[in-house]
Structure 1
Amino acid sequence: MAAAIPVSLTDTIVALSTPPGSGAIALIRLSGPDAVRLTDSVFAGKRLRDQPSHTLHVGTVRDGDRILDEVVISLFRGPHSYTREDVVEISTHGSDYIVQEVLGLLLRRGARLAEAGEFTKRAFLHGAFDLAQAEAVADLIASDSALSHQVAMQQMRGGFSQELKDLRGRLVKFAALLELELDFGEEDVEFADRTGLVQLLQEVQQLVRRLLRSFELGNVIKNGVTTVIAGRPNAGKSTLLNALLNEERAIVSDVAGTTRDLIEDEVSIAGIRFRFVDTAGLRDTADVVESIGVERTLKRVKQAALVVYLFDITATTPAELQAEIEALHLPAEVPVLAVGNKLDVASDAEQEAFQHRSDTILIAASRGDGLDELQERLLEKVRGEGLDRAGSSTIVTNLRHAQSLELAARHLEAVLTGLSAGTGTELLAADLRHALAALGQITGEISNDDLLTSIFTEFCIGK
């Protein structure tokens, strides 16, 4: 069970749940045992304490005889609410002044300003969902592509949690039998079938490893793909960036060395977010400012998840292209896509020199020729196992989850090794307990104050 945390659930909390700043509507949310009573004390309209759950009420918020605003009250009675407590949401006009006046009034009447993520924390503590689902709420709010939205929604609805629950359930049965053996240690009996345990552990280990492998894909879905466009000056890097973004983001000039610093922007391709980085042209230069740009380019290339090496078909031979890519000294795990530009002005011979290379595509960035193929090749480079099923299969996107899965995998491996070596029941049971604990930390079945505080402080105040 989740440990108690140093936040009083007897408090009634309040916070602005819409972004700060002027707008048409602002939503102020209260949750706690006095949420209805506090709102009633400032609301001129129907008596909320007499109204049923899931109803809307129009009236005014008043500070004494002074009307602060005309509002709509949404009433949700626990346990049929987000936090499973009484929840009131006050929709005001989106004036900063009005919001501050209403918040100040409710605070004076006895509410407490909510901490970051405290509404969702209360929902977790009251059993509305587990910790993995709670974290998926934050991922859903932050989702900015079709796939990140799909994955967060699936996790929030419990897909990942159910898979973990099934894994733990299978292990708990054998763990219980091992513990039983310890109770009867002097009688030298075995309640747990060792052959069956090995088979079970291998199946569970395989499932855990599959989830771990999905983290690489999940990280791409959640955080996007940092894609550095590198190449010599005047290869057309800025033109390509503008074409991919479909806007004039970077300055385009025939003068070599125009780009001195990194220019970054994002675009979604087939639901995957790519963060493209236009860089300074790679060449030896005496220009101090340009040389700094080249140094930054080389540094950023090594940090990239994917490198697009752009070259001018009319000014580069295949041998030169190969030498230039090798000169980048990229880590082995960073994929490179060679892209030949200026197809529209290249001769037949210049085009044919590269057409036989399977790792190279030819485009005309200024006209947009070949961009569809380029986008397809970019997707292929990051597609990874299971991308097409990412919206429906279980994908791990959270580093904390991946670390817990890795810890569980290590302890499961220790149990398997111990079984083959004839290790005593006490050591086997200890490793199995550690594996179960690691899986339990993901969903919050085993947690502590520091862990919960770390997770929920990443949320916005009103969530």
Structure 2
Amino acid sequence: MLSTEPIIALATPSGTGAIAVIRISGKGVIAVVAHFFRSVRGKRLSQQKSHTVHLGHIVDGARIVDEVLVSLFKGPHSYTGEDVVEISCHGSPYIQQQIIQLFLRNGCRSADAGEFTLRAFLNGKLDLSQAEAVADLIASDNEASHQIAMQQMRGGFSDEIKRLREELLNFASLIELELDFSEEDVVFADREQFKSLLTKIQNVLKRLIDSFSVGNVIKNGIPVAIVGEPNVGKSTLLNALLNEDRALVSEIAGTTRDTIEDEISIGGIGFRFIDTAGIRDTEDVVEGMGIRRTFEKIEKAQVVVYLIDATGFKENGASLKIEIEKIRNKYPQTHLVVVANKMDALSSEETNHLREQLPNALLLAAKKGTGVEDLQEKLLEFVNTGALRNNETIVTNARHYDALLKAVEEVEKVQSGLAEGVSGDLLAIDIRQALYHFGEITGEISSDDLLGNIFANFCIGK
């Protein structure tokens, strides 16, 4: 799968900008670029040191295409481990394409998605877990997801897995050695010490597996459904949370007939807010479809914000409490936050009555933005950020999660085998399987199909 032919791609977003960066990697790329580069100081590009930048022009025959900066990174001290040249040109799409087409006609081919990072992996610059973190880092849109991706890219997760694999591999070697001397009944691996190691590995694996529930929501955002009867201020609350007029607001009940979604970062954590159609009995076909979608969104949400109109609580309080209890019973696994809106319109007596009837409800006035911060703080309570604050390893990748589940299953088989006193050859089979699943994570064991699937999700130019 390892190819050294020169590849080229735009490394910055397509479109017009101040500058654009074109990346080229592969065997002989410095000589290829040197043929079309004219330094303003008459330097020969092929004779320059690695990690240097040079001002000049890209020329096509007698025609000057653009004034550029050319950065040299000589292998193996480059991102891909090969010779890499990065051309910083002016950000005109026309100029970008002229330069790329020039090199495509002269020995380069267009890079596939993620091919630069794939080459970095194949050349030993990154392991597979670190390579996947590159894509997560590019996609990170809040502080928490950025922090996790940076830790993984710097090898935090890989180092932990490699340590476990190395310790298990040492004992596996001793078990295998015993098989060579089976006729002499020699024991090289201390069984009690081995049991302690397996317990330690099991605990670490389970901690990593448990972290996935946090890592997954940090990576993908926490879905929060805003529900309630029509005209209680759901769209106004969404706008207050987003600090923009994202949803249409009207005094007419039933304005929102479909779900509206948007994402914001609160305390470094991504939340996906879903403004839903008001829940009520209706003969309107379109509104009815919106209400059905509301219940679909509730089923998928991790948090439900049930909004009530505080001004009508005195008359409708009993029925509202019944509806709240229905939601709580129907979705027991979902966090439910009851929020009373339009509190600014209540008298002190009405406010005290509402507090008595709904002691756990958050009180706010969405139109004025009062109490919105209290709701944000409440939402953060549902995210266990302790591991993030302590800079612990957090698993965010479903492929890693699956491999960890399989690894802990094999470790438990080895533990059972030791307890039952099974022979070394049977223990060795389960140990090898556990080692295999560790290797799947870091890429020490991988297939072309697996690599193709992973790197196909990268952007072109990375």
For normalisation by structure 2, the TM-score amounts to 0.95
Pair 1:419-2:413 in alignment: no
Q: How does 1:261-276 map to 2 (within 5 A)?
A: 261-276=258-273
Q: Does 1:18 align with 2:12?
A: yes
Superposition pairs for residues 214-253 of structure 1, below 5 Å? 214-253=211-250
Q: Which residue of 2 aligns with 1:362?
A: 363
Equivalent position of 2:177 in the other structure: 180
Cα offset, 1:358, TM superposition? 5.5
State whether structure 2 residue 89 is matched by structure 1 residue 95.
Answer: no
What's the secondary structure of 2:433's corresponding residue? helix
Residue 59 of structure 1 pairs with residue 53 of structure 2? no
> Is the contact made by 1:234 and 1:255 (CA closer than 8 Å) also made in structure 2?
yes
The equivalences for 1:40-439 within 5 A come to: 40-45=34-39, 46-316=43-313, 319-328=318-327, 330-355=330-355, 357=358, 359-383=360-384, 385-389=386-390, 392-439=391-438
Q: Deviations over 1:103-148 (max 9, x none)?
A: 1110111011111111111111111121111111111111110111
Shift of 1:318: 5.5
Q: 2:3 aligns with which of 1, 8, 13?
A: 8
Quote how far apart the aligned CAs of 1:383 are.
3.0
Letter in 1 for 2:364: I
Cα offset, 1:402, TM superposition:
0.6
1:8-27 CA deviation, whole Å, 9 max, x = no partner? Answer: 22x01111111111111111
Q: Among 20, 28, 39, which residue is 1:34 paired with? A: 28
Q: For residue 338 of structure 1, what is the amino acid of its counterpart?
A: V
Give the whole-Å Cα distance in 1 for the aligned partners of 2:183 and 2:352. 80
Provide the rounded CA distance (Å) in 2 between the counterparts of 1:462 and 1:151. 23
RMSD value, Cα: 1.5
Residue identity matched to 1:382: V
In 1, the alpha carbon distance for the partners of 2:209 and 2:317 equals 39
CA deviation after TM superposition for structure 1 residue 230, in Å: 0.5
Stretch deviating more after TM superposition (272-281 or 335-344) = 335-344
SS at match of 1:327: helix
Report the CA distance between 1:184 and its aligned residue: 1.9
Aligned residues: 455
Could you list the runs of 5+ residues in structure 2 that have no partner in the other structure?
none
The AA in structure 2 aligned to 1:146 is E
Structure 1 unaligned segments of length 5 or more: list them: none
Cα distance in structure 2, aligned partners of 1:358 and 1:441: 51
Instruction: Report if the CA contact (8 A) 1:226-1:275 is conserved.
Output: yes
TM-score, with structure 1 as normaliser: 0.95
Distance in 2 of aligned mates of 1:326 and 1:294: 19
**Does the aligned pair in 1 maintain the 2:76–2:83 contact within 8 Å?**
yes
CA distance in 2, matches of 1:350, 1:200: 63
Please give the alpha-carbon distance, in whole angstroms, between the structure 2 residues aligned to 1:384 and 1:26: 38
In structure 1, give the amino acid aligned to 2:414: V
CA distance in 2 between counterparts of 1:130 and 1:404 reads 16
How much has 1:66 moved relative to structure 2? 1.4
State the shift of 1:355 in Å.
2.7
- CA displacement at 1:347 relative to structure 2: 3.5
Q: Distance in 1 between matches of 2:144 and 2:7?
A: 34
Identity %: 56
- Matched residue SS, 1:383: coil
Between the aligned partners of 2:361 and 2:386, the Cα distance in structure 1 is: 23
- Native 8 Å contact 2:306 2:339 kept in 1: yes
Amino acid at match of 1:312: D
Letter in 2 for 1:282: I
Q: Provide the rounded CA distance (Å) in 1 between the counterparts of 2:44 and 2:363.
A: 70
